Amino acid sequence: MSPVEFLNYFFLQLVYGLSLGLLYGLMAVGLSLIFGVTKMINFAHGEIYMLGGYTYFFTITLVGLSPVLAMLSSALVGILIGVMMERYVFRPAYNMQQQARDEYAIIATFGLSILLQNLALFWFGTAIRTPPPIFDAKLTFGLLELFGDRVAAIVISSTILITLYLYVAKSWTGAALRAVSQNMNAASILGISKTKMNALSLAVGGGLAALAGALLSNVLLVYPDMGVIPTLKAFVIIVLGGMGSIFGSLVGGLLLGVVEALGSTFVSVAYRDVYGFIVLILVLLLKPNGLFGELARRI
């Protein structure tokens, strides 16, 4: 391979890695937001993503909605699930104060994940489903060829991630979310309702997961356990980027996507997951709180 060919090839891999990383980031950002505010891990996040995919598929194929309305329906379903989870799973755990709260959250959300997967299997069957394409065209940029659905997923994901970042960084509600994330008791003293912020984080996180499911349903298909692997990747990303950091999730997602792409190409595809974990271990050795995580202490 000539140096020019090699550079072209490297560039191709980089672009595909970044595009995949962006999609990973979209999945991880909701999970990170929920953890940042509630300090509890939601193992059922992947199943909200899955239900978002199914909602998108059925609202298009059965109800006949346009892709935009179908995506909004998916987001709405995700928000509703998030709110219900806050009310019936997270709030009881929160009221337990320090007494085995984390263990409760892990067991409850893990159980919910298995329940939702099996309900999906029961309701929707075992078939792998694919909604009609959002944008049925092939775009060519020199050597780079991208299909419409992937381009749509990249553009919409970027827009959502930037909007969310600005919302959390600039708005009053975003400041309240960050305040609860940094110090819940101090935030309460200042009049911020932790219950409302918890509900908001679950609603936004759930909405984002479902939207990701809808957006990626054409690219990565819809089936009952479609959320398992993305959730695992999302956990790697939020630890990599710093737990609770939205910007960290985005950077972590991009980093994971690129590392996986380049590692698979230049070393071996058989160890694809290993590359992400090697980077994770290295980052944790050098920065134990992740790339953009902050030192925190629970009071």
- The amino acid occupying position 119 is L
**CA separation (Å) from 231 to 25, 29, 108, 198, 252?**
11, 11, 16, 20, 14
From the CB of 121, what's the least distance to another protein, in Å? 6
Structure tokens at 224: 């009952």
φ and ψ at residue 128, rounded to 5 degrees:
-90, 125
Q: State the minimum distance, in angstroms, from the CB of residue 270 to another protein.
A: 4
List of long-range contacts for 153-161, beta carbons under 8 Å, 24+ apart: 153/23, 153/215, 153/216, 153/218, 153/219, 154/19, 154/22, 154/23, 156/215, 157/22, 157/23, 157/25, 157/26, 157/212, 157/215, 158/22, 160/26, 160/208, 160/211, 161/22, 161/25, 161/26, 161/29, 161/250
Closest to another protein by CB, 62 vs 127, is 127
User: Which sign, positive or negative, has the C-alpha torsion 181, 241, 41, 84?
Assistant: positive
| Smaller CB separation from another protein, 36 or 230 | 230
Alpha carbons 73 and 51: distance in angstroms, whole number: 11
Angstrom CA distances, 218 to 87, 136, 149, 177, stand at: 32, 11, 7, 33
CB-nearer residue toward another protein: 42 or 218: 218
- For residues 194 and 272, which CB has a smaller minimum distance to another protein in the complex? 272
User: Nearer to another protein by C-beta: 188 or 273?
Assistant: 273
- In the complex, least distance from residue 151 CB atom to another protein, rounded to whole angstroms: 11
Contacts with another protein, residue ranges (CB under 8 A): 1, 5, 9, 12-13, 16-17, 20, 117-118, 121, 126-133, 138, 145-147, 150, 220-221, 223-226, 228-230, 260-262, 264-265, 268-270, 272-273
CB nearer another protein, residue 20 or residue 209: 20
**The tokens of 5 are what?**
């060919």
CB of 156 to another protein, least distance (A): 18
Closest C-alpha to 123, from 46, 219, 223: 223
CB of residue 142 to another protein, shortest distance in Å: 12
Tell the smallest beta-carbon distance from residue 205 to another protein (Å). 21
Closest CB to another protein among 14 and 83? 14
**Closer residue to another protein, CB minimum distance, 6 or 88:** 6
Can you say whether residue 139 is alpha, beta or left, with left for phi > 0 and alpha for psi between -120 and 50 degrees? beta
Q: Provide the minimum distance between the beta carbon of 234 and another protein in the complex, in angstroms, as a whole number.
A: 13
Q: How far is the CB of 228 from another protein (least distance, A)?
A: 7
Query: CB–CB of 109/42 below 8 Å?
Result: yes
